Structure 1
């Protein structure tokens, strides 16, 4: 299975997050899956990719070449696809992935998350989406989504994504 990871590329995040991302990468490789990610060598993306590579797993990085001006790109990817824009990158993520894991991140991660759940809601795909809620990182976002639902801003709320608080829960959701 090709598993896409959305997450921060920041070098400034706490180790509680990057340690879990590394463990996730180890698990992805050990279970024989391929990591699809934004190609970054730092933050959540880099930690997960290092876990994959340290366990002889496969990875596919997808990024515009110019993103290297903002963060280093991972040199250990099994394959790398260069694109011209962030929109094209998101389309390639969707094309090459069987499931999506959203890990802690910033504005770019939220953009990717909301786009992929919107596409699922609009029946453009039926792939599993799992939010990896490390240390309650996304709790406030879930409160906001619940509030939007309560106030009628969301249509019939079926399960569009699942929440996992551990790596074991992620792989239970993927079965």
Structure 2
């Protein structure tokens, strides 16, 4: 699921109706959804299957927020699957623990679960709109100019891995939803 529709993007950018910009806008919408998901995790609900290993009493899923667990089975043939009803999932952090408090053993595990959001927070939609505007305004570089300033789109510090492609205001909107760091 993209954060914006093609019609929404045209409206945000005040583009004329018609298909002149459709291909370019579609790429922008897909790219901004990928960029925002890199910071906040999946936007729409999707099935994730991953191999996870646990130490002690907690196993941490990589895709957060996690909505629900589907299956939990050992990778090693002959091991016993764990009933997901016997597990506790902290969806925000992706931490999975046993309700009986026992430590994990017998892994690694193949975990199938639903990750994403049941609703998209408004600030993530606003971040997507601002990012689209920023990219559209800067798509032809300095030659295009930006009459009237552009303070809302200032990028004072590069974002690791993205350089100056993400404005400060977008990063501020994403911050409350940032994925927790992954510890190996």
For normalisation by structure 1, the TM-score amounts to: 0.21
| Greater RCO structure (CA 8 Å; 6+ sep) | 2
| Higher-Rg member (1/2) | 2
Larger helix percent: 1
For normalisation by structure 2, the TM-score amounts to: 0.20
